Amino acid sequence: MWLVTPKQMQELDRRTIQENKVPGITLMERAGTGVVTHLLQHYGSPKGKRVVVFCGKGNNGGDGFVVARLLQEKKALLKVIMMTPYQELGKDAKTMYRRFTQKAKPSQIFVQPNEEKLKSLTHNAHLLIDGLLGTGLSSSVRDPYTTAIETINASPAYRVGIDIPSGLDSESGSTMGVAVKADLTVTFGCPKIGLYVGDAIDQVGYIEIVDIGIPEAYIKDLEPQTQLLSQALIRPMIPPRLPSSHKGTFGHAGIVAGSPGKAGAPALAALGALRIGTGLVTVATPETVTPIVESKLLEIMSQGLPETPEHLLGLEAYSALQSFCQNTSALGFGPGMGISPSTTELLSNLLPQLEVPCVLDADALNNLVCHLDIFSHIQQLPVLTPHPGEMARLLADSSSRTINKDRIVVARSFATQYHVILVLKGANTIIANPLGQIAICPTGNAGMASAGMGDVLTGMITGLLAQGLSSWDAAQAGVYIHGLAGDLAASSMGEPGLIASDVISAIPHALTHILSGQKKRNLSL
């Protein structure tokens, strides 16, 4: 599913209206109907519920009038707050206002109420519908909209954003002064990039997408570069398991990782690789760490490697590691590896020699912060999986906060410059390739903000590479399935206290979930 900028969505609307001859009010009617449909799914019947609909002067307000009319038909106890007089409404919004007022009573409509009146209208509401500003916002929110948004946020009512919560930039996801905090956002046509990045991650609640009839050909003409991962997209990437399959069919993943005190990291990565369906998994780790790793793993092989006096992997392991790599289908480097000049030298010499694809995570990246050019000398397109702190170290002059301000730009720039697949981890993980294409992952939850989750992801992507997926497909599938496994684990255990091994246990369920075509409630994907 493609994500678009506000300008691109405006162009899609224009072409649909002018070239496909679909009236704007028809699109508006479809949008409002979609909002009510999803509201019923998430909230239930509005009958007898106190509902307040906020309507601005543009198309977002017009959608609000459609929602108001439909909710009134469903016996909601309705009030409509208009932020502008009828004369200042847009053309299509005026049409929807007239349709609403055919059956509404004048006492239900409040035009430009002051702050005190806003509070009295909303203080005991069950539902608040935000049709204030929409995707056309280009500058900071000003009064009276500021007061309206603050009033909405102060209410304990269930809040629904039409197209995008008012006050959010629909391209960057940043808050334009103040923004509605929604429980549900129903967006139209193509979802907007700004729903999935920046401040929006904490503001939009559940996202639902309504098809309002934008021709697919018009979307393709835009040549969009950003897509939202979905089950439909990931399903064909999962390797089929024929009755004649054997363990050799599904590859051999090598995990090069671990150091004293960090033996859990390679174990988690190895289990992630095995659970994603890899036939064989071997952990290559310093000799003194091997017994600890072996004590944690039953189905996974290990190989102890010569180590430095600090018990890390260095040039002492180069020859043995060369041989080890030749017997694998894919390799994952970094979890718990430790940092040292000798480790840096080992990686610098080894990585350009690899004939199989690899994933570089954690300390593999930390060891190479001064050797970024090596990435473009790796024979097969490498997958890098930094979290924002590691990304900041790779860029030397950045901080995690800077990275998080515009993760799409950061990821795209790095991937194209250094010819890598970049997985920039975090809420709604960003994946970028050297062509400048971006994929955003909607799966995952706050319970996954826990130690070891990244190690599991490294193993999963390595395992998918070992099974023959391309670097781009393995990164997308690994990230999506990892997040979905976390969501499934959280659905049964809750988010607080979720740990990496819970996610590992849920990986087979996530695979089954995708292959069976089940929808995960509230993701619409």
- At residue 517, the pLDDT reads 76
Q: Do 217 and 281 fall within a single domain?
A: no
- At residue 522, the pLDDT reads 43
The answer as to whether 442 is a domain residue is yes
Q: Do 257 and 214 fall within a single domain?
A: no
The answer as to whether 346 is a domain residue is yes
pLDDT by residue for the chain (525 residues), tens digit each? 899 999 999 999 999 999 999 999 999 999 999 999 999 999 999 999 999 999 999 999 999 999 999 999 999 999 999 999 999 999 999 999 999 999 899 999 999 999 999 999 998 999 999 999 989 888 999 999 999 999 999 999 999 999 999 999 999 999 999 999 999 999 999 999 999 999 999 999 999 999 999 999 999 999 999 999 999 999 999 999 999 999 999 999 999 999 999 999 999 999 999 999 999 999 999 999 999 999 999 999 999 999 999 999 999 999 999 999 999 999 999 999 999 999 999 999 999 999 999 999 999 999 999 999 999 999 999 999 999 999 999 999 778 888 998 999 999 999 999 999 999 999 999 999 999 999 999 999 999 999 999 999 999 999 999 999 999 999 999 999 999 999 999 999 999 999 999 999 999 999 999 999 755 444 445
* Distance of alpha carbon 289 from alpha carbon 284, whole angstroms: 10
Q: Do 194 and 315 fall within a single domain?
A: no
Q: Do 316 and 169 fall within a single domain?
A: no
Greatest CA separation found in the chain? Answer: 84
- At residue 3, the pLDDT reads 96
Q: Do 199 and 326 fall within a single domain?
A: no
Look at the chain and report how many structural domains it folds into. Answer: 2
Q: Do 283 and 414 fall within a single domain?
A: yes
* Distance of alpha carbon 208 from alpha carbon 439, whole angstroms: 18
Q: Do 319 and 418 fall within a single domain?
A: yes
Domain that includes residue 201, residue range: 2-223
The answer as to whether 397 is a domain residue is yes
Strand order in the sheet with 330-333: 2-3, 226-228, 438-440, 430-432, 421-424, 383-384, 358-360, 330-333, 252-256, 280-286, 301-305
The CATH number that applies at residue 157 is: 3.40.50.10260
Q: Do 168 and 272 fall within a single domain?
A: no
Q: Do 82 and 217 fall within a single domain?
A: yes
Give alpha helix (H) positions in 277-340: 290-296, 318-326
What 8-state DSSP symbol labels residue 335? T
The answer as to whether 520 is a domain residue is no
The answer as to whether 522 is a domain residue is no
- At residue 459, the pLDDT reads 98
What 8-state DSSP symbol labels residue 168? B
Q: Do 214 and 250 fall within a single domain?
A: no
Q: Which of the listed residues 223, 257, 283 is the one where a domain comes to its end?
A: 223
Q: Do 254 and 217 fall within a single domain?
A: no
Q: Which residues contact 410 (CB under 8 A, 6 or more apart)?
A: 391, 395, 398, 403, 424
The answer as to whether 372 is a domain residue is yes
Q: Do 279 and 135 fall within a single domain?
A: no
- At residue 425, the pLDDT reads 98
The CATH number that applies at residue 331 is: 3.40.1190.20
Q: Which of the listed residues 223, 257, 276 is the one where a domain comes to its end?
A: 223
